[in-house]
Chain A
Amino acid sequence: MEFERRDAPFVTPSTDVASIMRQVLYALIPAALAYVWYFGAGFIFNLLIAALFCAAGEAAMLRLRGRPVEPVLGDFSAMVTAVLLAFALPALTPWWVTATAALFGIVVVKHLYGGLGYNLFNPAMAGYVVVLVAFPLDLNLWTAPRMGDLDYHYMNLFETARYTLTGTFPDYLTFDAISRATPLDVVKAGLNSMNTFEEMRSYPMMGDFGGRGWEWIGNFTAIGGAWLLLRNIIRWQIPFGVLAGLLIPAGIFYFADPAVHASPGFYLFSGGTILCAFFIATDPVTAATSPRGRLVYGLGIGFLIYAIRRWGSYADGVAFAVLLMNMAAPAIDYVTRPRIVGHARRSWGRK
């Protein structure tokens, strides 16, 4: 009998990129539901627009680069970018802002660097930063989370859709009437103008640790993250690093002088901390790759988030922290190479 010739091993791998990306998407469902609950249907519109433009950008670039379109679109990596982008943007965002971020992330950051696996920067975060710089006003339009406030008008589905598509408010509403400072904004401004953190904790917008609503989104995000950890889709080093890198300096400053510093709990449950720890920083392509390297990488992101929130000019620093550490990843990989079995222990950073 005659047979075909193949190379060992003769065992089919049990995972594939598409299933990993799909599981990341599933893990974001609880957080997405919480986001929609607190900030309204705008998130869904943003998500649809981001998905549309990410997919279109990816397909167009693949065609331009002469690569097969279908299998790559089928790996869902562009969808993960789209979803992360939707989480980063305010619920009320005009479509062209979302489209710009999506196209920049996919076309420039991902495909001009060679596509999945070759990009240096996290496409979602790079896209977000571009619109943050290009459309600062739009990116500042955070609404109040739905907490039953009587004096706040929550836009209905139709009004939200109209705003997303045209960027115009209903006649009886203005930007100022609808926009609310995020807890991170409030605390940053408050601390800068010599209010104590304790004082700000009593504001109605504050919850147990972070802002009301925000902290529940954080909880639901963490549920998805824990699921990914359990399924070994992500490993513990990066989430642990990010959280430790943020909480340790925050803790030290807070316990040294609780009046002029916000608590570690506040930073943990505000803004994009938890999303970053489990879903953004863990993008394997742009992270460091060795286990020790990933710990260092995570710690770096955590610390930069704290530094930007505390001393920078932006209220949240997730995107900048991630992009900065993306740049450092190759160097981290170089100095944190594990010792190969049978080789002598290597002195730090030397060959």
Chain B
Amino acid sequence: MTAAATYDLGKLHGGLRLPGEKEQSTSRGVQQVPLPRQLFLPLQQHVGEPAQPIVAAGDRVLKGQLIAAADGELSAPIHASTSGTVLAIEPWPVSRRHGEAGPCIVIESDGLDQAYHYDGHPVQYQELAPDELLQKILQGGIVGLGGAVFPTAQKLMQAVTAPLTHLILNGVECEPFISCDDMLMREQARNLLGGAQILMHALRLEKCFVVVESDKPEAIHGIAVAMSELDDKRIVLKQVPTIYPSGGEDQLVQLVTNLEVPSGGLPTDVGCVVQNVGTAAAIHRWIVDGEPLISRITTITGDGIASPVNVEARIGTPVSELIAVAGGYTERANQMIIGGPMTGKSVTTDRVPLVKATNCVLVLSDVIPLADERPCIRCGECAIVCPIELQPQQLFWFACSDNEKQLRAHGLTDCIECGCCDLVCPSHIPLTADFRKAKARMREMEDEKARAERARLRFEARTTRLMQEQAQRDQELAKQKQDALSAGPDAIREILERSRSKNQKDDQ
């Protein structure tokens, strides 16, 4: 069944072989989370501008109904995850902000789970022009489910402007603990391949790689079975070795095509469009089944969880309810992370809802020691593992001294924040966190510079305008004077007379 798999891979610098920690959550199939009583749908579940609510408290909504429309740059619409009543639009803890509050639409479920019917679904996508199909995808609220939550339709619309060669479906789940894509490939391979066909049609592509790590035999089997059923020669399964962070978009492109995505560029610059396997399945669900992105599979795992498992839950379900399906916490639960242990975000409370980006809820027992940071001894291990071939030891040095020029010259902006350098640092320097801060400072400085520049331009424009006005006035006065002089003494007297009578009139 795995005969189609190939190993002809490009080279990736550095990286780490990390313990997978995935068996815990893959021993059982995906569990369905019961409908929660209340759902909390953050208005910002994507990279760009928050969506604008189009419902108000008290409105009844149906499952799949649009409740917040895309508004502004890289925004994506949000749909009700079940039927019920809008209780409020109010701040609620969200994972994007580590558990601090962000605006959410709160829906009280009526338990009926009554679906909204979209006209024209299932869409016969083969009959649609690619542009029309992209417009359809846009309405599904679909964002990149690998964790970056870039609005998919915008990504595709940007991509079609470039000459493309490959669609790459990313099934490389390289971060430890996370196994939601693995489970999706095992259980819903048919869906994701269907998504691949839709994507190929939308992008006018004739070649698709489905890339899976070789340590996921069940997923490979799942894909292979679905492929043989589908019998689409355009789709090719590729296996890659398990090295973190080979699942990063640019890293995957490099691994599969041996082409480097240029610094500051996109995979489309080398002809590739990368989509997460979950995103492809979501597209299929929307286009064929008429169900927008209102649920997802997520991994509930870690040694702080009683029985780790993958669950499928509605977007907006509080994480505490997902934990309950996974048997609750163990006594040692100490740290909650949304995402994986390498790039995830810690949250302070399990009241945060499941959002489109939530691929994993990791609860760990470890108390990670803080403040044992030592001076850098320049051992260079960080540079050996850096997948971008940066020199973190040098960047660290320049970050300490806030040397923006050298930070740029040494490629700080190319850092993908994978965290490999942190793991091998004998001095326990939080390099990735330091680089994140340095990047933020750099952005701040840029903004400030831009603001100063705008202020300067405005000031200069104003000065020029004032000077022009002054010159114009001077010119007019001079002209009047000239006219008066050339008109002779009678005319001057007449003018003076007129102005005097005007003044008197004004006085009265």
Q: Cβ of A13 and Cβ of B428 under 8 Å apart?
A: yes
Task: Give the shortest distance, in Å, between A72 (CB) and chain B (any CB).
Answer: 8
Task: Give the shortest distance, in Å, between A68 (CB) and chain B (any CB).
Answer: 11
Task: Tell me if A134 is interfacial: C-beta within 8 Å of chain B.
Answer: no
Residues of B within 8 A of A20 (CB): 377, 379, 426
**A5-B263 contact, Cβ under 8 Å, with A13-B425, A115-B375:** no
Task: Give the shortest distance, in Å, between B61 (CB) and chain A (any CB).
Answer: 30
Q: Cβ of A12 and Cβ of B369 under 8 Å apart?
A: yes
**A289-B378 contact, Cβ under 8 Å, with A6-B368, A7-B430, A8-B419:** yes
Task: Give the shortest distance, in Å, between B259 (CB) and chain A (any CB).
Answer: 10
Q: Cβ of A4 and Cβ of B348 under 8 Å apart?
A: yes
Task: Tell me if A180 is interfacial: C-beta within 8 Å of chain B.
Answer: no
**A10-B364 contact, Cβ under 8 Å, with A284-B379, A284-B380, A337-B391:** yes
Q: Cβ of A6 and Cβ of B263 under 8 Å apart?
A: no
* Docked CA distance A7–B261 (Å): 28
Task: Tell me if B60 is interfacial: C-beta within 8 Å of chain A.
Answer: no
Which of these, B18, B337, B339, B384, contacts A291 with CB under 8 Å? B384
Which of these, B320, B346, B375, B410, contacts A6 with CB under 8 Å? B346
Q: For residue B337, which residue of chain A has the nearest CB?
A: A10
Task: Tell me if A340 is interfacial: C-beta within 8 Å of chain B.
Answer: yes
* Docked CA distance A235–B424 (Å): 14
Q: Cβ of B343 and Cβ of A9 under 8 Å apart?
A: yes
* Docked CA distance A14–B426 (Å): 8
Task: Tell me if A170 is interfacial: C-beta within 8 Å of chain B.
Answer: no
Query: Which residues 249-287 of A sit at the B interface, judged by CB distance below 8 A?
Result: 284-285, 287
Q: Cβ of B336 and Cβ of A3 under 8 Å apart?
A: yes
Residues of B within 8 A of A75 (CB): 374
**A5-B426 contact, Cβ under 8 Å, with A289-B383, A341-B389, A342-B260:** no
Q: For residue B339, which residue of chain A has the nearest CB?
A: A8
Q: For residue B383, which residue of chain A has the nearest CB?
A: A290
Residues of B within 8 A of A14 (CB): 423-424
Task: Tell me if B165 is interfacial: C-beta within 8 Å of chain A.
Answer: no
Q: For residue A329, which residue of chain B has the nearest CB?
A: B378
Interface size class of B (residues with CB under 8 A): 35 or more
Query: Which residues 315-348 of A sit at the B interface, judged by CB distance below 8 A?
Result: 333, 337-343
Q: Cβ of B380 and Cβ of A290 under 8 Å apart?
A: yes
* Docked CA distance A225–B388 (Å): 30
Q: Cβ of A289 and Cβ of B424 under 8 Å apart?
A: no
Task: Tell me if B154 is interfacial: C-beta within 8 Å of chain A.
Answer: no
Q: Which of B262, B377, B428 has the most CB of A within 10 A?
A: B377
Residues of A within 8 A of B366 (CB): 10, 12
Which of these, B260, B337, B410, B426, contacts A341 with CB under 8 Å? B260
Q: Cβ of A9 and Cβ of B375 under 8 Å apart?
A: no
Task: Give the shortest distance, in Å, between B137 (CB) and chain A (any CB).
Answer: 28
Q: Cβ of B13 and Cβ of A341 under 8 Å apart?
A: yes
Task: Tell me if A11 is interfacial: C-beta within 8 Å of chain B.
Answer: yes
Q: Cβ of A3 and Cβ of B334 under 8 Å apart?
A: yes
Chain B 338-375, CB-CB to A under 8 Å as 1, else 0, gives: 01011111111110000000000010101011101011
Task: Give the shortest distance, in Å, between A173 (CB) and chain B (any CB).
Answer: 44
Residues of A within 8 A of B369 (CB): 12
Task: Tell me if B409 is interfacial: C-beta within 8 Å of chain A.
Answer: yes
Task: Give the shortest distance, in Å, between B421 (CB) and chain A (any CB).
Answer: 9
Task: Tell me if A136 is interfacial: C-beta within 8 Å of chain B.
Answer: no
Task: Tell me if B87 is interfacial: C-beta within 8 Å of chain A.
Answer: no
Q: Cβ of B263 and Cβ of A340 under 8 Å apart?
A: yes
Chain A 285-323, CB-CB to B under 8 Å as 1, else 0, gives: 101011100100000000000000000000000000000
Residues of B within 8 A of A294 (CB): 380
Which of these, A16, A285, A333, A341, contacts B414 with CB under 8 Å? A341
Known: A8-B419, A13-B428, A342-B264. 6 other contacts (CB 8 A): A1-B350, A2-B348, A8-B341, A10-B344, A16-B428, A116-B375
List 21 A-B pairs, Cβ < 8 Å: A3-B336, A4-B335, A5-B348, A7-B436, A8-B339, A8-B342, A8-B344, A8-B345, A9-B432, A10-B337, A11-B342, A12-B369, A13-B423, A14-B424, A117-B377, A289-B380, A337-B394, A338-B391, A341-B260, A342-B263, A342-B264
Residue ranges of B at the interface with A (Cβ–Cβ < 8 Å): 13, 18, 98-99, 176, 250, 254, 260-265, 320, 329, 333-337, 339, 341-350, 362, 364, 366, 368-370, 372, 374-381, 383-384, 387-391, 393-394, 409-411, 414, 417, 419, 422-428, 430, 432-433, 436
